[in-house]
Chain A
């Protein structure tokens, strides 16, 4: 090679970024953290019951159940898709579990496994329909299955409630391990797991790649369809996990549980910085966002504010948190 005339000058590429304060501080997560601190301060200001360990601890149990689904939902949104059937999947898996236990007389352990399987299958169906019929978007597919899954739940349980679970089943929703709610431990574990998967593994990298440019990802040898199906299955599976916790908290189930969960979950992910335009988002931001919304609602609940005020506050928070950085950016450019 040396004997050839080089038609270009050799160049080197830097592999270390110089340290930059700007990069460290201009991050969405700091903003979220500030909001969270503000929420905690506000909470302690308005209610004497808010800022103490037992209260904050038990407060998490109030909102963390649905928050479990936020992780796969974030993945789905990063891939520029959306899944609005998760609430119905929660209901269906819960109903299947309860029916198998009460009517079919199966052991609870088997019913729980069936619940997880149901959720995963629901997710699988979503995923398969989405990749097989690309001309239909994820919105229409999951809109259809949203109605369908809940419909099946109704067909199974009709107007009945099913419950009477064994004593130990209540542990999921109400139990503590070393003084920490079991639900919180599961949430933390899932946050860690999803954080690693999304940010440190090839699978996560592929998810981001698909969100950025699905065609180029396919051309680069990523099995786009497979990744999509897996992520939708994960959403179904986590919906089933939520079903277990929710059912445990309610001690019984009905086909109409978990209605409108999808919107709450999407709001959490969006506040956490996951963009539905695809390709962006971090698990840390999502986790903070979950606690912001959760503690805000909890804190406002402790001073017994009407729930419609809460609707308005969460709506305004969502808009402000997304709009302020944009407005700031607009100012700077001018």
Chain B
């Protein structure tokens, strides 16, 4: 017989008095990007009068997140927001949570449709792919070889964005741009450096690198700086302003993109609150009030639904100084 025989708590919300509990499970600890998101989530939920629980496993693994979700179920939280380390592997755990009446939303990295009520997308992946190709094209004058330096070969977000980049490159405007390689630095400094160096050696005519990941873009920036290649090879992608400040100012990376993780956390908090209060259910076409972030509509995302926050934000030398201390 499957499923708990005597359910260990009927439903999360109803059996509890007092403020509702909102939990956010990020990918791993010690990740400043995540810390900012958690900050945004925490402050917003507090403003709204809920109780906040912030958790992350010490390693970015699905197993760690499953453990945490189990513990959250036992604590009878009302809403779980999760940035998934794996889209599918959390399904049984999150389903168990949903069975007990807990509302589930994913943020930043989606979990599959069956295990969530809604996904809060930091930005439209299609747009993310497109702006980076546009940027690179502008930096290299519309022709030449480019390469992508990604995180791990399994990172879902990055893989989606890279797919969109490839689609974008099929356009007529970019026919002279050749994507020669997608390399994976596994979000490790040393590996990202080796991979970047190998790119430079294997493709002497390389004109630009797109690195849609924080560790990767910073490592690539470092290699290009050390080898004195600024102006010859352009670098763009997605990175933390604090990590990239040096390279943006030195011109190694003329500009790059990211959204504001604090806002993502905020958006997640509002969505979580609306879900928890029963104001929305995650149905297609619902309107979600994200207060100062505006009102957005629930749209389709594969088999599930999502809301999308703003476009990625462009960081260049004019604004990097004011952002580098923020996140």
Do A302 and B71 have beta carbons less than 8 Å apart?
A: yes
In this assembly, does A27 line the interface, its C-beta being within 8 Å of a C-beta of chain B?
no
Segment from A130-138, A155-163, A201-209, A318-326 that makes contact with B = A155-163
In this assembly, does B92 line the interface, its C-beta being within 8 Å of a C-beta of chain A?
yes
Chain B 211-225 interface mask (CB, 8 Å, partner A; 1/0): 000000000000000
Do A249 and B29 have beta carbons less than 8 Å apart?
A: no
Q: Please indicate the chain A residues that have their CB under 8 angstroms from the CB of B73 in the complex.
A: 58
In this assembly, does A44 line the interface, its C-beta being within 8 Å of a C-beta of chain B?
no
Q: Please indicate the chain A residues that have their CB under 8 angstroms from the CB of B96 in the complex.
A: 174
Chain B proximity of A298: nearest CB distance (Å): 7
B:35-94 near A, CB below 8 Å: 53-59, 61-64, 66-68, 70-71, 73-76, 86-93
Checking B8, B53, B88 against A161 with a beta-carbon cut-off of 8 angstroms, the contacting residue is: B88
Q: Please indicate the chain A residues that have their CB under 8 angstroms from the CB of B1 in the complex.
A: 175-177
Do B58 and A54 have beta carbons less than 8 Å apart?
A: no
A:196-247 near B, CB below 8 Å: 246
Chain B proximity of A6: nearest CB distance (Å): 69
| Alpha-carbon separation in the docked complex, A55 to B54 (Å) | 21
Do B5 and A179 have beta carbons less than 8 Å apart?
A: yes
The number of A-B residue pairs with CB atoms under 8 Å apart is 122
| Closest partner residue, chain B, to A297 (CB atom) | B67
B:1-15 near A, CB below 8 Å: 1-6, 8-9
| Closest partner residue, chain B, to A298 (CB atom) | B71
Do B92 and A161 have beta carbons less than 8 Å apart?
A: no
Chain A proximity of B101: nearest CB distance (Å): 16
| Closest partner residue, chain B, to A162 (CB atom) | B88
A:270-310 near B, CB below 8 Å: 297-298, 301-302, 304, 306-308, 310
Checking A168, A252, A301, A308 against B29 with a beta-carbon cut-off of 8 angstroms, the contacting residue is: A308
Do A246 and B63 have beta carbons less than 8 Å apart?
A: yes
Do B29 and A307 have beta carbons less than 8 Å apart?
A: yes
Chain B proximity of A176: nearest CB distance (Å): 5
Do A49 and B76 have beta carbons less than 8 Å apart?
A: yes
Checking B4, B55, B59 against A58 with a beta-carbon cut-off of 8 angstroms, the contacting residue is: B4
| Alpha-carbon separation in the docked complex, A260 to B61 (Å) | 11
Do A249 and B4 have beta carbons less than 8 Å apart?
A: no
Q: How many residues of B contact A (CB 8 A)?
A: 43
Do A259 and B61 have beta carbons less than 8 Å apart?
A: yes
A304-B55 in contact given A176-B5, A250-B89, A252-B86 (Cβ < 8 Å): yes
| Closest partner residue, chain B, to A168 (CB atom) | B2
Q: Please indicate the chain A residues that have their CB under 8 angstroms from the CB of B8 in the complex.
A: 54-55, 58
In this assembly, does B232 line the interface, its C-beta being within 8 Å of a C-beta of chain A?
no
In this assembly, does B159 line the interface, its C-beta being within 8 Å of a C-beta of chain A?
yes
Chain B proximity of A247: nearest CB distance (Å): 9
Checking B63, B74, B159 against A159 with a beta-carbon cut-off of 8 angstroms, the contacting residue is: B159
In this assembly, does A119 line the interface, its C-beta being within 8 Å of a C-beta of chain B?
no
| Alpha-carbon separation in the docked complex, A36 to B2 (Å) | 30
Do A62 and B86 have beta carbons less than 8 Å apart?
A: no
Checking B4, B30, B58, B61 against A256 with a beta-carbon cut-off of 8 angstroms, the contacting residue is: B61
Do B91 and A62 have beta carbons less than 8 Å apart?
A: no
In this assembly, does A254 line the interface, its C-beta being within 8 Å of a C-beta of chain B?
yes
In this complex, which of B53, B90, B92 has the most chain A Cβ atoms within 10 angstroms of its Cβ?
A: B92
Q: Please indicate the chain B residues that have their CB under 8 angstroms from the CB of A170 in the complex.
A: 2, 92
Do A250 and B92 have beta carbons less than 8 Å apart?
A: yes
Chain B 13-39 interface mask (CB, 8 Å, partner A; 1/0): 000000000000000011000000000
| Closest partner residue, chain A, to B153 (CB atom) | A159
In this assembly, does B319 line the interface, its C-beta being within 8 Å of a C-beta of chain A?
no
Do A49 and B91 have beta carbons less than 8 Å apart?
A: no
In this assembly, does B194 line the interface, its C-beta being within 8 Å of a C-beta of chain A?
no
Q: Please indicate the chain B residues that have their CB under 8 angstroms from the CB of A82 in the complex.
A: none
A257-B92 in contact given A54-B4, A54-B8 (Cβ < 8 Å): no
Chain A proximity of B74: nearest CB distance (Å): 5
A161-B89 in contact given A58-B4, A176-B1 (Cβ < 8 Å): yes
Q: Please indicate the chain B residues that have their CB under 8 angstroms from the CB of A308 in the complex.
A: 29-30, 58
Chain B proximity of A101: nearest CB distance (Å): 14
| Alpha-carbon separation in the docked complex, A304 to B53 (Å) | 7
Chain B proximity of A18: nearest CB distance (Å): 48
Chain A 129-153 interface mask (CB, 8 Å, partner B; 1/0): 0000000000000000000000000
Rank and list the top 8 A-B pairs by shortest CB-CB distance, nearest first: A54-B8, A250-B89, A252-B88, A301-B71, A307-B58, A159-B153, A251-B92, A159-B154
Which residues of B does A touch, CB under 8 Å?
Answer: 1-6, 8-9, 29-30, 53-59, 61-64, 66-68, 70-71, 73-76, 86-93, 96, 152-154, 159
Additional A-B contact list (4), CB under 8 Å, known A54-B9, A58-B4, A255-B154: A161-B154, A163-B91, A249-B93, A306-B56
* A–B pairs, 25, beta carbons within 8 Å: A54-B9, A62-B66, A161-B87, A161-B88, A163-B88, A170-B2, A175-B1, A175-B2, A176-B2, A176-B4, A248-B92, A250-B89, A252-B89, A254-B62, A256-B61, A297-B67, A298-B67, A298-B71, A301-B67, A301-B68, A301-B71, A302-B71, A307-B29, A307-B64, A308-B30
